[in-house]
Structure 1
Amino acid sequence: MGGVSGSNWIIQSGSNGAGADPAVGGQGDPYLSVLGGGTANFLFAGLSQLGLDYGSADWYNSFVLTLSNGATRTFTGQDVINSPPANGDQGASRTNGRLTFTAEAGTSITGLALSSSSNSLEVDNFGVVAAVPEPSTWAMMLVGFGGVGFSMRRRKVTYRLAQAA
């Protein structure tokens, strides 16, 4: 996972006017807080899964995934908790939890943009799973390994010429 870019985000711990530690996972460790009007962007080499703890989900928070095929998928805080309405409660289990995104077959997750149009969206404890090669890639690797094995097993044949006496 690359570094974070964007604007109006901070790394902090504890709870204050700029955010609250997500009420799940290992509390007390540093977490990222995207402040009002801010965006935090992450780039990845290609993931099949991306997980994170989120806090204070609200309708104005968004998670935008970028996929290897160029498509994007956007989820708001309201999409994440579904029902009842997202209200950003800092301690409620319905607005704080673990979120896992899984790439569709044939694609991988290459980016994540977190944004909040008001104060704030908190995330912590990222977990990633690297993309698994496609079946055709596995087949090519197996053929390659087989070829290497065959060439290593092949014996050199040496012919001796009979010397005339």
Structure 2
Amino acid sequence: MKNLHKAMVAISISAAAMVSVSARADIVSSTSSSWQTSSTSWNVDTNNDNVSSFKAHVGSELINISTVGIVDTGSGNATATPGTKDTLFTSITFDPTNNVFTSFSFQGQLAILGDIFVEVNDNFGITFTFTNVPKSSVFGPFGAAAVAGSGQYIDKVKVYTVLPENFNSIKLVDFGNYTVAGAVPEPSTWAMMLLGFFGVGFLAYRRKNQGHVRLA
């Protein structure tokens, strides 16, 4: 019975952990473009030549942008392209000054066909990394969005490739307030949860029969 007791405790703890994980807020990858409007599109403040940092706005919100590799941009709803200096454009980081956005999306073109990575930091200090494997060097939209009701916001986004891959362009950048529905637990998760609840009930039953119930 001791072994059974230990097993039921382990199941209960595992199930409780699974419930905790399934209830945790999340940010997921997204290819939706239905939420994108002119008000969610980035607007680069000025023309930029051979820079590795610049500023843009989405509505009234300031976005600080830095790159690995020198880039050129136009102004307005611009495209970032490799600068005239002989460097490879391999990474771009978007750093909103306020945590007000729940979704991010971008499009662009690769110099060669390779993987694209999107690293999202949220307002709770959690980092999510997604991989996009485009079928063509021209790609998009690709990005991420918070689960509805999660209370998560985008703190920072890094888009990057791994050499020898690099970007020919990054464009149509959008930050908005689109959210996605939460995922329904898998059948196996439901089974573990039920086992956990059974374990808790079994332990309570055992303690009652052994006189371990304390009266107030």
Asked if Structure 1 and Structure 2 have the same fold, meaning a TM-score greater than 0.5 normalized by the shorter chain, the answer is no
Q: TM-score, normalised by structure 1?
A: 0.38
Q: Choose 1 or 2 for highest CA Rg.
A: 1
- Normalized per residue, the structure richer in helix is 2
Normalised TM-score (structure 2): 0.31
Q: Which has the higher contact order (CA 8 A, sep 6+)?
A: 1
